[in-house]
Amino acid sequence: MIIDVSNPASLTHPDITGLGFDADGNNDGESIYVGNNRVYLGRAQNNPPTDSFYILDRADTLNNSSATDGILGQHSIGLQNNTYIAGIRVSGDLAFLSIDDPNQGLIIYNITDPINIVLPAACSEFNYSENTVALDSDIDSKYLFAANSSNAEISIIHDLDAVCPL
């Protein structure tokens, strides 16, 4: 759902404007991040399994209403049923995904090529399982803060530029 908030006195519902994106399947959108003229969408996993991480072109998503308009890349990250991508942050060519799943908590992907979203080997030590339910970063993107529903309540990864050399 996309809502133009530039004039709060005349907000128009997305059902009228047609603005938005509707991915295949019946899985719900759970998280979103907008930056660098891209929209990153994280979804829940239900049956049947579908792609759960999308990278969209911001301009195409705003200008069109077709289910496939603006898709730059999509990836199935192998979520278990009834789990979801709880948060997304992007720093450079890396996407940090928080997963509400006891087996996958934080996953880091190289998104240099949206058609070929991959796990960089140098980052695998940071992919930990702790039901990561929220994610945020500071203004200069030097720290990533992860809230976890099991074990440590807050985890912090320092110096995101140096963590995962590509």
Looking up tokens 């930056």 gives 35
User: pTM score, two decimals?
Assistant: 0.79
Looking up tokens 């990153």 gives 40
**Confidence band for 19, pLDDT divided at 50, 70 and 90:** low
Structure-token pair, residue 3:
């809502």
User: 54-111: per-residue pLDDT in tens?
Assistant: 888 877 766 654 545 678 888 887 788 888 888 898 888 888 888 887 777 788 888 9
Looking up tokens 């603006």 gives 70
The amino acid occupying position 31 is S
> How many CA atoms within 13 Å lie on the side-chain side of 60?
13
The Cα–Cα gap between 71 and 29 comes to: 15
pLDDT at 62: 66
pLDDT at 67: 47
Average pLDDT value for residue range 33-53: 81
Domains of the chain: 18-163 (2.130.10.10)
**Confidence band for 5, pLDDT divided at 50, 70 and 90:** low
